[in-house]
């Protein structure tokens, strides 16, 4: 959207706030917390989900070394995939998404190995 008035924070449709349509770079300089992609808070739930997905993926990958553990490893890897997908759904930052994609990929490879070794049952 283009600004038609020279006043700070006023656009075609009236006063604008940072992060809303029509906001300018000057609006972001006044309140840097409103930059796109900048998130306030600890994201504790998202980080716990990401950590759980990584933990399950790593345990599933370690269990590949024992073909007899295909039942436990298969379920752990499947849980890692599902937790990773839910963590991806609720993630807020690029860092969380990167960790989730890596965890999902590792869990999927581990799951494939466990299926090859004998499946889930």
With H, G, I as helix, E, B as strand and everything else as coil, classify residue 11.
strand
Nearest residue to 95 via CA among 37, 34, 36: 37
17-28 pLDDT, tens digit per residue, is 555 556 565 555
pLDDT for position 105: 98
pTM for this entry? 0.68
With H, G, I as helix, E, B as strand and everything else as coil, classify residue 74.
helix
Give the residue with greater pLDDT, 3 vs 73. 73
- Cα–Cα dist 118/39, whole Å: 44
CA 7 vs CA 21, 72, 94, 96: distances in Å: 15, 64, 34, 38
pLDDT for position 88: 96
72-113 pLDDT, tens digit per residue, is 999 999 999 999 999 999 998 888 999 999 999 999 999 999
pLDDT for position 13: 46
Q: Count CA atoms within 13 Å of residue 84 on its CB side.
A: 24
């Amino acid at each position: 959207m283009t600004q038609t008035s020279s006043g700070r924070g006023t656009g075609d449709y009236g006063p604008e706030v940072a992060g809303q349509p029509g906001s300018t770079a000057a609006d972001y300089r006044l309140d840097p917390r409103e930059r796109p992609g900048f998130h306030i808070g600890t994201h504790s739930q998202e980080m716990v989900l990401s950590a759980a997905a990584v933990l399950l993926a790593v345990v599933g990958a370690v269990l590949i070394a024992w073909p007899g553990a295909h039942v436990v490893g298969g379920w752990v890897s499947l849980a890692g995939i599902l937790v990773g997908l839910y963590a991806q759904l609720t993630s807020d930052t690029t860092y969380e998404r990167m960790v989730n994609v890596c965890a999902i990929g590792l869990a999927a490879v581990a799951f494939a190995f466990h299926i090859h070794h004998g499946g889930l049952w």
